[in-house]
Every structure is written in structure tokens, then in C-alpha cells.
Structure 1
Amino acid sequence: MIRFENVSVTYDGRPEPTVRGIDFEVPEGELVLLVGPSGVGKSTVLGAVSGLVPHFTGGTLSGRVTVAGRDTRTHKPRELADVVGTVGQDPLAHFVTDTVEDELAYGMESLGLSPAVMRRRVEETLDLLGLADLRDRPIATLSGGQQQRVAIGSVLTPHPQVLVLDEPTSALDPAAAEEVLAVLQRLVHDLGTTVLMAEHRLERVIQYADQVALLPAPGAPLTLTSPAAAMAVSPVTPPVVDLGKLAGWSPLPLTVRDARRRAGDLRDRLAARSPEIREPRTSPAEPRPATPPRRRWFNRTARPAAPQSPRTAEVRGLTVTRDRIRALHEVGLTVSPGETVALMGRNGAGKSTLLNSLVGLITPTRGTVEVHGRTPHRTPPPELIRHVGLVPQEPLDLLYADTVAAECAAADADAEAAPGTCRALVTELLPGVADDTHPRDLSEGQRLTLALAVVLTARPPLLLLDEPTRGLDYAAKARLVTVLRGLAAEGHTIVLATHDVELTAELADRVVLLAEGEIIADGPTAEVVVSSPSFAPQITKILAPQQWLTVAQVRQALV
């Protein structure tokens, strides 16, 4: 169905090909997972299937890519639209209409399908992806994860023979990601759809792959092999595989179920040991206002406050209503210096809205927000930047210069930092990126990392991150964790909204769980995630009922 024959791609102005000598075939009705570190050219390989490379990206493609017998060099993307459906890393770049239902119908309208067929397929896709309640919503009002599901749905409705997906679960909560992957598996198994997918969160997807296409390094040859064989040699591996290597299991497990079946001896060895649990540096929350609860069975009064401690930010009774939709309801939250707090919850729970309120991008409908004694939405940006910084889900919202060097110079000037401060952070977080690289030429994960360096240049006491690991491989994530731990040790407060349960396990002192705009749990990471089937990391699920969170904890205990 998809065939690469000695394919190399060189972009204009680049001395070396981004990918070189790619040669492999994806049979009809298989799901092939494209795996490799950030920046090795996975998005380029995917773009070559849809014809976006080189017709829209420019550059030179040598060799031959065929999809259902059509050569992508001689067929432009619109001439492949009935065969290939593509979802990129940025769903906003994908949308052409204003509402969910219109977006799901647009691709079918372009292909001239009858209204009766379009109606049936829209309804089927709304149900498949859990979007029925959002059908009339403006796309601009959706959360990032909801937009991701709409983008996936819009390419499913035309029933393409081939789906090309770039980080399809990166913005989804664990439950939504499982639903999307289950839909993809049904398409592959029941309808014979061919799927080529790149995804850094291997813990979510490796068990669904029929084969793995491994790109181990820039310019290296691609290897097509079984998932187990690929994970044995891959430079990027999920926690379940890392635990298998630590325990000496062979063959390596790829799923939590496989690992649990073999973990009895390991649990026995760990039974007499206890993981080092990071405790929150402050009480989880102040008592909330005595307003009537939305659910009678839910007692919204938090535990009593601990003795007063220095506070970086304080939120009291925060309610935010936007476009007649209540995004937050009577939220109370206090964070202190040196604390790392993870905001978790399903897509649309209000995590991004809370972050945007802390940085002054949203004016509260009711309640108060204070950061270092200042009201963010009333504080001039040049002053506010020295107290709070936000790395948004869409890094291009922060990046406006033509080169990495220009971005860094502007960040140094805005923060009144010594020249080279931002560039040093980029080198630490994103090694190997040249000064003259345009931010739009970076991968999604690389752009996020550059945006983080820009924000960190001002060294704000309160650092806010919205899905900071989208597009990051495990090595890049480890570098990010090291930097954030260092900032926390220096007294910076870090609040991150994330669906990445493995990042939360590695980094967070405390988890705040939101649902429908309300805080439903707030406590130490181990206490909250161990009791949650949806938000527990892989190691916790494998070694339960013991409260281990990470491979690093297990390794340290076995030393």
C-alpha cells in the first residue's frame, strides 16, 4: 500500500539530507509505528506519504514514494486526498471551518459525496471519537485535546485507504488516547485501513503496532521489524521496556499485562523497601467558599489548611465563563516556592484555563488570582514577565523571529538578561540546533523546547507549562526534567498542565486533578495517581499494590 524506494529528502539551505536512503514497505491493513528520537526526520517521512513533502515544504525528494500505486512526486496532495488522510502535529493548522460538525463534513464535501452518506459518516465519527456533545461547538472554544480528536475525525469521515498520523495522542488525556487508538485498531483489523503513525509516547501505542519502522539517528537507515525486536535496540523505549531491561526479562514485555505476569519475583525483592516519595511543600488547598455543590454527593470542602507558608500564587473562588461555557467553577489553589504541581484531568477539564488565568490572559468572571501579590490581568506585561511565564501548547504563539539566534537575542533583551543567556539554555535543552534555523523548520517538540528556553530566560518565580512534552522523545523529556528540578531546587514554583502520566511521576511533588472545571483531588503525587487507573504510570500498574512510580525509583531500591 505504501512503498518507499531509496528515498532521500534535502530541504533548501540544508547541507545534508534530513532523511537518507529510506527503503521500506507498509502492507495493506497494517499499523506501522514510526519510532526515533526528536529531529531524525519522522515528520518528513510522513509528509512524503501525503505528498506534502516536497509539494508544500519545498526541498528535493529523490527516490520514489508510492501510495496505492500513485507516485507522490507526480500527484499533489489534493490528488491523493481520496486515498490518504493526514493529521499533523498542529491540529489548528488542519481546520478550515468553524464548528465541529462542519469540519467533519468538509473533506467529504470536497470529494463530492452525497448528503445522505455524509450525514451517516458524521454521526458514526461523532460516536467513535466521543464528540457527539461537541458537534455544534466552535472549534476555537475547544481544548487542545478536543481539537486533536476533531482533526482525527475529519480525516476518518472520507474513509481513506491510508491514514498518516503525526503524534495523534500527544494532546489527549489517557482515556481519550485509548479510545482513539482503539478506533484505529478497529479500522486496521475490520476495514483493512493502512496506518503509518509517529508517536513519542510509546507506552501508549507500542502494543497496537504490527511492525515498527525504526529511525535511530539523523541520516541513519530505517529498519522495519517487529515491535519487540525494535524495542531491544531502539534509543527510545517506554518505561515497561526499561523495567524489563532492569529486571533482565527476555523477551522484553511491551504491555503492562505482560510485565505484571512476570513481576512476581521483582515485587518480592521490593517488598521490604519503600520508594522515596516527594511530599508537597505546602498544604494542597485552602478551604473553598461555602457555595452549593454542583453534585450533592460531592463534598467540595477541602482539608483544613496547614500553617501559613510563603506563597508564589494564590487562587480563590475562581470561576471563568467563556462563550456561555463555564470552564472553571469556584477553584481554590495555593502554590509555594520550590513546589512542582501537575494539573491533570480529561480534555476540557479546565487545566489550560487555569494556567491562562495565572498569567493574566483571562479575566476571572468571579474570584481572585494573585501572583507575588499582583493581579495578573491588571499587571502590565513588561512587569508581569518577571514574575510569571507561560509556555503555551502552541509554541509559535511565542516565537516570531526568523531564526533561533534572533529569538534568543530578543528573549535576552526582553528579560534584561546577559547576552547569550537564552542561547545557553537552548544548547542545554536542544543540542545540535543551528543559530540560523527558522523556528518553523523545527519539529513540534523542538519548537516547544525553544519556547521554554525563551520563557526561562527571564527566570520567573512562577513557571507555567501547558503540555510541555508534546513532541519530545524520552531523552529530551529527561533533559527537561533535569532543568525543571534544578529550577525547583532554586525556589522556582512550577505548575504544569499535562496528560503525560510518566512526566508527572518523574517530576511532580503534587497532583491537582480537575473535572468539569472543579478540583476533585489535590495531594501528593503517589497518593493521587496510585489510586487512579487512568492517571497511574506504567510502573505503578505493574508493581501495584506497592507504590512505585518510576524505573529510577526501582533501580535505586535494588542497588
Structure 2
Amino acid sequence: MIRFDRVGVVYEGHGAPVLREVDLHVPEGELCLVVGRTGVGKSTLLGAVNGLVPHFTGGTLRGRVTVDGRDTAHHPPRELADVVGVVGQDPLAGFVTDTVEEELAYAMEQLAVPPEVMRKRVEETLDLLGLADLRHRALHELSGGQQQRVAIGSVLTAHPRVLVLDEPTSALDPTAAEEVLAAITRLVHDLGVTVLLAEHRLERVVQYADRVAYLPGDGTVVHGPPAEVFRHTAIAPPVVELGRLAGWRPLPLSVRDARRAAAPLRESLAARPAPAPRRGGAEGDTVLSAERIVVRYGPVTAVREVGLELRAGQVTALMGRNGSGKSSLLWALQGSGPRQGGSVRVVREDGRPPKDPKRVTAAEARRLVGLVPQTPTDLLYLESVAQELAQSDLESGRGPGGEAGPTARRILDRLAPGIPDDTHPRDLSEGQKLALVLAIQLAAAPRVVLLDEPTRGLDYHAKEALTGIVAALAAEGRTVVVSTHDVEFVASAADRVVVMAEGEIVADGRTDEVIVASPTFAPQVAKILAPLPYLTVHQVTVALESAGAAR
């Protein structure tokens, strides 16, 4: 169905090809998972399937890409629209109508699908993706995860033979992600749809893949059965990392398979001291106090009289399903978002009385509370990466290479190394854009740092770097709040977990207590090794190494 024959892609101004000598064949009715670090060319590979590369992006395409027998070099995207459906990384950028129902119908209108068929498909898709209650809602009013589901649904209604999905679950909570992936799997198994899917949160999708295409970063693509490819990849989900560590063969790709192989490992770990729980962060003084916060959007109450205290040196994960009010709460704490009730007080470092970020100047508010939004491009407005970084250093009072702290460039290089200074921010991948905005905001080192879905678009290595930066901020006495659906990141980075539902806090406690108690939020290692108190592969590694050293 999809065939790459000796394909290479070179963009103007880039010396090295993004893709080179790629040979890849994806048969009809297979799900091919595309993996690799941020910026290695996954989006270029996906874009070549429907002709966006090079018809829209520019650059030079060598070799031949065919989809259902059509050569993409001679068929622009509009001539492949009946065969290939594409969902990009930023769903909001692809919307062309105002409401959910209109967006689901739009692609079918362009393909001249009869009205009675359109109505039936819209209803089927609303039920398939759990969107029925949102059918008349305006798209801009939806949460990021809800927008993601609408974007996928707008493609599914056209019944394409090939689906190209770029990070389809990145903005979804674990339950919603499972629903979407289950729907995609049904399309593959029952209807013979061919799916090419790129995803950084491999723990969610690897068990569904028939084939893996791994981009190591040199322009080539290594592909084959998942268990074979992941044996040697530089990135892998926790279940695979644990399988490598334990030497399991065949390599497990699901929690179920890993639990079957894990009995000897559990027995070995049970005989050793349990890992110490993460510190609770309670040793620091209160930095931010929020009381009875209320946020409304018309008749909809997004946050219902929420109270929250954040302490110095504490990393708090804010979790909950899509639309539970997490982003609204963050914006209310930061001061820029709507707040119809309640108060926020942030303690200042110079000993002056606490201030509400909503009641001070923008410059002072940035030093009190920094926020990285879900859509990082909202904060990018200059012409190059170097200009963005220099402006951040200027506003933060940090000269290039000075002793006041890490500059934005140093932080960026830790998160996503190798981004050239002269690159336009809009030309970066979604993960690189996020890394740039993180660097810009963290350079100011505010007392409170709020991160809204910061791991979206980041690979495992970048998330490890982000964990280190978050830990360093906490060590400086700052408090960090991370709104996220990424349970694996929470397991490694957070001291405390706060769970929201319908605008209210329903759980608040130590990380190992809250996430293990919920099957939805439990990380893979916790599920595999339960009832042992392990959350990450790193904890298991340390336990095994300490046992070896003791012997």
C-alpha cells in the first residue's frame, strides 16, 4: 500500500539530507509505528506519503514514493485526498470550520459524498471517538485533547485507505488515548486500513504495531518486527527497557507479556530493600497560596472553588482527564487567564509582602510565575532561534554566558541539542518548538514554574533532560507544577500528584501513593512489578546494581 524506493529528501539550506536511501514497504492493513528522537525526520517521512513533501514543504525528493499505486511526485496532496487521511501534530492549525459537527463533515463535502452518507458517517464517528456531547461546541472552546479527537474524527469520516497520524495521542489523557488507539486498531483489523503513526509516547502504542520504522538520526530508516527493532534502538518504552535489563526473550511489548516473564525478577527484588519513596516536598515553605479559585467560560464552570498550596522545592504533577480544568487552573494561577473568584498570593524572594500575579506588571509577574502553554508557538514571535534566545536572556537579566545562571541557549541544548541559531522558530518540529519555549521561560527562573503538557512532542531523552531541569529548579527552592497526561514522566519527576475532575481536586498526595492507586495513571513498571513499590526502570536498575555491589 505504501512503498518507499531509495527515497531521499534534502531541504534547501541544509547540507545533510533529512532522509537518504530509504526503502520501506507497508502492506495493506498494517499499522507501522514510526519512532525516533525529536527532529530526526519523522514528520518528513510522514509528509512524503501524501505529497506534502515536497509539493508543500519544498526541498528535493529523490527516489520514488507510491501510495496505492500513485506516485506522489506526480500527484499533489489534493489528488491523494481520497486515499490518504492526515492528522498533524497541531490539530487547531488544521481546522477550517467553527464547530465539531461541521469539521467532521468538511472533508466529505470536499469529496462530494452524498448528504445521507455524510450524516451516517458523522454519527458513527461521534460515537467512535466519544464526541457526541461536543457536537455543537465551538472548536476553539475545546481542550487540547478534545481538539485532537476532533482532528482524528475529521479524517476518519472520509474513510481513507491510508491514515497518517503524527503524535495522535500526545494531548490525550490515558483513557482517551486508549479509546482512540482502540478505534484505530479496529480500522486496521476490520477494514484493512493502513496506518503510519509517529508517536513519542511509545508505551501507549507499541503493543498495537505490526511493524516499526526507526530513524536513528543519520537519514536512514531501520524497519522490521517491533521486538527485533526495539532490541537495539536508542529509545524504547519502559516495558522494553525493563525487558532489556532483565534479558527477557522474546522482548515483551505489552504489560501483559512482561508480567508473564517477570516472576523471577519480582522474587529477586522482593528479597531486597524497597526503594525509598520520593521526597514529599513538605520541608519547604509555602511559595504560592490559592484560595477558592473559580474560572467560568459563559455557562461552563471550568474550576470550582479550588484551593491549593505549593511549597518551595516541590514538583507537583497536575493530572486528570481532558477537560477537567487543569489548563484553566494554571492560567488562573499565572494571572493572565480569567478568574471570576478566589485569590492567589506568591511569596517574593526579596522578602516584600506576597503579591497576586494578576495585580502586578507583566515583567514582575514573569519573575513570580512563569507559564509554558499547551501551544508553545503562542510565545514565539521573532525571526530566528537566536533572536528568541537573546530576547529571553535580555528580559531575564542574564547576559550571554554570564554567571547569573544558565542562559536560554544552554537550557535549549539540554532539551533539544543541535538546533541552529538561524532557524526560523516556525520551521521547527513541534518538539523543538516546545523545547525552545521551555528554554525561554525557564531562563527567567521564576519562583513558580507552571508547565502545561511540557512533554508533548518530546522524546525519552528530552524528557530525561526536562526531568533534570525540573529537579534543578526544585533544588533552588522553586516550585514546579506540571500539568500532564504523561504518567511515565510523572513517575520519574514528581514529588506530589494532584488529580482534578470536573473542575475540582479529587486526589492530592505523594506520587507513589496516588498514581499506583489508579489503574489509569499507574506507570508500566508499577503494573509489571506490582505489588512491589517500583515506578521506574531506573529504580529497578539501582536496586539490582546495589545488590550486585553488596555481593
Tell me if TM exceeds 0.5: yes
* Superposition map of 1:367-382 within 5 A: 367-372=342-347, 373-382=354-363
Deviation of 1:363 (Å): 2.6
Check conservation: 1:352, 1:497, Cα contact below 8 A: yes
> What is the CA distance between 1:264 and its match in structure 2?
1.2
- Asked if 1:449 corresponds to 2:448, the answer is no
Aligned counterparts of 2:329 and 2:346: Cα–Cα separation in 1: 13
In structure 2, how many angstroms separate the alpha carbons of the residues matched to 1:376 and 1:76?
50
Q: In 2, distance between residues paired with 1:218 and 1:126?
A: 41
Shift of 1:368: 1.4
Select 1:407's aligned residue among 388, 393, 401: 388
Aligned to 1:119: 119
Whether the aligned pair in 2 keeps the contact of 1:465 and 1:495 (CA below 8 Å) is yes
Q: Which residue of 2 is the match for residue 31 of structure 1?
A: 31
Letter of the aligned partner of 1:524 in structure 2?
R
Residues 39-60 of structure 1: CA distance to partner in whole angstroms, max 9, x if unpaired? 1100000001121111111111
Cα distance in 2, alignment partners of residues 248 and 188 from structure 1: 32
- How far does residue 371 in structure 1 lie from its aligned partner after superposition? 2.4
1:354-503 superposed matches below 5 A:
354-372=329-347, 373-420=354-401, 421-503=407-489
Give the Cα–Cα distance (whole angstroms) in 1 for the partners of residues 340 and 248 of structure 2.
Answer: 55
Shift of 1:177: 0.5
Looking at structure 1, the residues matched to 217 and 315 of structure 2 have their Cα atoms a distance apart, in angstroms, of: 33
In structure 2, what is the equivalent of residue 302 of structure 1? none
CA distance, structure 1, for counterparts of residue 509 and residue 199 of structure 2: 30
AA in 1 matched with 2:519:
P
Structure 1 counterpart of 2:526 = 540
The 1-side partners of 2:50 and 2:276 are apart by: 48
Q: Secondary structure at the match of 2:344?
A: strand
Q: Is 1:515 the equivalent of 2:501?
A: yes
Taking the aligned partners of 2:51 and 2:512, their CA distance within structure 1 comes to: 46
Matched with 1:184 is 184
Separation (CA, whole Å) in 1 of partners of 2:61 and 2:374: 31
Q: Distance in 2 between matches of 1:371 and 1:135?
A: 40
Match of 2:316 among 312, 325, 341: 341
1:260-302 deviation per Cα after TM superposition (whole angstroms, max 9, x unaligned): 111111111122421221132239xxxxxxxxxxxxxxxxxxx
1:558 alignment partner, one of 541, 544, 547: 544
1:522 partner SS: strand
Q: Is the 8 A contact 1:358 1:371 kept in 2?
A: no
Cα drift, residue 555 of structure 1: 1.2
What's the CA shift for 1:102?
A: 0.6
Contact 1:41 1:218 (8 Å CA) reproduced = no
Note the residue ranges of structure 2 that are not aligned, 5 or more in a row.
Answer: 348-353, 402-406, 546-551
Query: Pairwise mapping of residues 129-208 of structure 1 onto structure 2 (< 5 A)?
Result: 129-208=129-208
Deviations 1:219-271 (A, max 9, x none): 2x212200000110111100011111111211111110011111111111122
TM-score (norm 2): 0.95
**Structure 2 partner of 1:71:** 71
Cα distance, 1:552 vs structure 2 = 0.8
Using the TM superposition, give the Cα deviation of residue 370 of structure 1 relative to its aligned residue in structure 2, in angstroms: 2.2
Q: Which residue of 2 aligns with 1:298?
A: none
Deviation of 1:323 after TM superposition, in Å, equals 2.8
Q: Is the 8 A contact 2:292 2:305 kept in 1?
A: yes
SS at match of 2:119: helix
- The equivalent residue for 1:267 is 266
SS at match of 1:49: coil
CA distance in 2, matches of 1:183, 1:428: 37
* TM-score relative to the length of structure 1: 0.94
Amino acid at match of 2:308: L
The aligned residue for residue 321 of structure 1 is 296
Mapped to 1, the partners of 2:456 and 2:166 lie a distance apart of 11
The answer to whether the 8 Å contact 1:522/1:528 transfers is: yes
User: 2:350 — aligned with what?
Assistant: none
Structure 1 residue 525: Cα displacement: 0.3
1:527 aligns with one of 513, 519, 524: 513
- 1:185-211 Cα deviation digits (max 9, x unpaired): 100010010100101111110110011
Letter in 2 for 1:383: E
Q: Match of 1:242?
A: 241
Work out the CA distance in 1 between the residues paired with 2:409 and 2:540: 36
Q: Does 1:104 align with 2:85?
A: no
The offset of 1:218, in angstroms, is 3.0
Matches of 1:213 and 1:475 in 2, distance apart? 18
Measure, in 1, the Cα distance between the counterparts of 2:66 and 2:525. 41
Question: Cα RMSD between the aligned structures?
Answer: 1.2
Q: How many residues align?
A: 533
Of the three residues 327, 351, 354, the one matched with 1:352 is 327
The residue type equivalent to 2:381 in the other structure is Y
Q: Deviations over 1:367-406 (max 9, x none)?
A: 1122232222222211111111111111111111111111
- Matched residue of 2:4: which SS? strand
The whole-number CA distance in structure 2 between the counterparts of 1:116 and 1:282 is 60
Q: Distance in 2 between matches of 1:453 and 1:214?
A: 28
1:506 to 492, 511, 520: 492
Residue range with higher mean Cα deviation, 416-425 or 14-23: 416-425
How is 1:5-84 mapped onto 2 (pairs within 5 angstroms)? Answer: 5-84=5-84
Deviation per residue, 1:116-166 (Å, 9 max, x gap): 111110110010001111111111111111100000000000000100000
User: Percent of pairs identical after alignment?
Assistant: 62
- CA drift at 1:428: 2.4
Q: Secondary structure at the match of 1:530?
A: coil
Structure 2 residue matching 1:232: 3-state secondary structure: coil
